[in-house]
Structure formats: C-alpha cells, structure tokens
Amino acid sequence: MLSIRGLVKVYPGPVAALQGVDLDVPMGMFGLLGPNGAGKSTLMRILAGLLEPTSGSVRFNGSDVLADPAAVRRTLGYLPQDFGFYPHLSGEQMLRHLLVLKGVTSPHGLKALTTELLDRVNLSFAAKRAVKSYSGGMRQRLGIAQAIAGDPKLVIVDEPTAGLDPEERLRFYHLLTELAEQRTVLLSTHIVEDVAVLCPQFAVIRGGRLVARTTPGAARAALQRRIFEGVVSPADMPELRATRAVTQTLLVEGRHRVRLYEPEGTPPPGFEAVQPSLEDAYLVLMRLGELPGVEQIDATATPLDRRTPETLGARP
C-alpha cells in the first residue's frame, strides 16, 4: 500500500504545485488523471525520491519514502514523462548502461538480464538497432524495461502513452496490465482513455488538489440521464454555451453534435439522453469540481468557474 498524507510542494514564486494531497494507492493499477499543470509530475517525482516536498509524508509498505529514499528506490521502478536515451547506442547497450546506473545485478549476469528484459517488452528484434531509429512506442517499452529491472514492487509511469499511435498505445496497455498483476502501478496521465482502459480505480487532480476518487463505472453512472446530445447550428452555439453546460462539441459528418450536462435532466428541445462517457465525467469534474453521488476528496477545492457553464466546452 502506498500512503500519501498532507503532501505539499511550493516552488519559489511562490507557486503551490501540491496543496495537501491525501491518497491511498492499493496493489494493482491505479490512475491519476488530470490536465497538464495539475501537479501530476510533481507528485510522481516526489514519490520517486527525486524531489523533496515542502511538507507531508509518503509511506510504501510501511517504509518512509521521504526519510530514506535510497532504500525505497530498491523496490521502485520509474518511467518519467521525458526519458532520455543516448541515440547512438543500441537498445541492448542502452538498457545495460541503465542497469549499471541503477545498481541492478543478476546471478546470470547483466547480458542475460538485458536479453530477458528486452524479450519481456517485445524488443528482442530491435536489440542491436540504434535507439535513434526506435519509434515512440519502442522507446517507451525500453523505458519500461529499465523500470521493471530488479522486480520492483512499485512502478510509477508518468504520461506513458502521450504521442503514441493507436497500435503502439494498445501494445503498451497490454504491457502495463501485465505489470499490475503482482505489484502497485501508479499511472499518471491526462488521457481519459488510458484510465478507462486500464484502471479499476482512479483519482482526479486539479490545481494541486485531489478532486475525487472513484471508479470508471461509478463516474459514468453518476451522469446517467444527465448527459444529452443533439445537433446545433454554428449560429446557435454562442447562446447554447451561455445558457447550458456544454461538455463536448463534436464534428460528425460536417454537423456539430453537442453534448450537454443537465443536472436536472431537462435538456433543450432536440436533445436526447445518451450514455455518459468517462470523458463526460472528467470534464464535469474539471469545471464544476464535483459529480452527483461521487465523494469529493478535498472539500476546500474551489471550482474553476461555477458562474460560466459555457467554459465546459473547452477541453482541458
């Protein structure tokens, strides 16, 4: 169990990147969902022992992460958002170099371990190729190979699927799911699909505060009979945004299809109830700070804008 209590990080300025985060993360896959700049990467770096918080505590399986980060790193695998490689090295050489830096050993030697890790992330075919020739997904898989070296009990991945094409993303999903079977995997992302596909539980962070902790199913259920969709002409959009809570505007076959959040279940004429998506739930949480029937973690979190529901139309 990863236990976070009262975590605060204030940068010079001052800029409060984290404002009292409390969160328990169980074994398995857990998602941390939020827009860019919400504090996700700051939190991930603190958990990885790379950044010192202003205050608060972090414990993993009883060990104090902040008091003894070196000890925790021996049970930690970390894939940061921006992972640097030496482009002229082959995948095999790069991974072996990273294993040496991490102090990972194997009774059969580093060469055998490197081969085993590359096979596990499906990169054996490219072991001799220069890293500069790797696709974005291949580089991410190489990053995961170093993260799981030493059989860590906690794996932290920060924005792992950003920039991947659909095929590479699906391949990465399967890899992360496999990793989560016997360890805690904390997935930080701004991509709603990542959470919908991978995470039985997730928390939403906004402005350095946790807004809610829930499940994809519960988040969607909270919006049943509250999400409506209809076709709207461009000329009518300004008035609709001014009077209704628009969650999404979609261009389908040249027509503007608009999704609305109606808490009382009374849409304007021409709109019909549709099945809520996790993206609907996320956008409502981002703008209003709450979902009906979903417990709000931080009661002091201030909604971004309760007075202008039209801001719901802007994607985070």
Query: pLDDT 10s digit of each residue in the chain, 316 long?
Result: 899 999 999 999 888 999 999 999 999 999 999 998 899 999 999 998 889 999 999 999 888 888 887 777 778 899 988 778 899 999 999 999 999 988 888 888 899 999 999 998 889 999 999 999 998 888 888 998 998 888 889 999 998 887 788 888 888 899 889 889 889 999 999 999 999 999 999 999 999 999 999 999 999 999 999 999 999 988 888 988 888 888 888 888 878 899 999 988 889 899 999 999 999 999 998 888 778 777 666 545 444 333 233 333 333 3
Structure tokens at 167: 């095929």
Per-residue pLDDT at 84: 82
Q: Looking at the structure, tell me whether residues 180 and 129 fall in a common domain.
A: yes
Same structural domain, 184 and 243: no
One-letter identity of residue 263: P
If asked whether residues 54 and 198 sit together in one domain, one would say yes
The tokens for 9 are 């990080």
What is the span of the domain harbouring residue 57? 2-213
Which residue, of 179, 213, 247, is where some domain finishes? 213
Total domains, the chain:
2
Q: End of a domain among 180, 213, 246?
A: 213
**What was the pLDDT predicted at 72?**
75
Q: Do the Cβ atoms of 86 and 131 come closer than 8 Å? A: yes
Vertex 113 angle, CA 108 and 117, to 5°? 155
pLDDT tens column, 86-109: 999 999 999 999 999 888 888 888
**H runs (alpha helix) in 9-165:** 40-47, 69-73, 91-102, 110-120, 136-147
In the chain, the amino acid numbered 56 is G
Q: What is the pLDDT of residue 310?
A: 34
Check whether residue 112 and residue 249 sit in a common domain: no
Residues 111-139 have pLDDT tens digits of 999 999 999 888 999 999 999 999 888 88
Same-domain pairing of 9 and 115: yes
Asked whether residue 94 falls in the same domain as residue 162, the answer is yes
Cα(101)–Cα(105) distance, integer angstroms? 11
Q: What is the pLDDT of residue 308?
A: 33
**The amino acid at 203:** A
pLDDT at 316: 32
Q: Residue 110: count other Cβ atoms within 10 Å of its Cβ.
A: 16
Give the three-class secondary structure for 48. coil
- Shared domain for 248 and 302, answered yes or no, is yes
Mark which of 213, 244, 261 sits at the end of a domain.
213
**E strands, 163-293, in order:** 184-189, 201-206, 209-214, 227-231, 245-252, 255-261, 272-273
| 8 Å CB contact between 88 and 74 | no
| 214: CB partners within 8 A, 6+ apart | 201, 202, 203, 222, 291, 294, 295
**Are residues 124 and 48 both part of a single domain?**
yes
Task: Return the pLDDT at 299.
Answer: 45
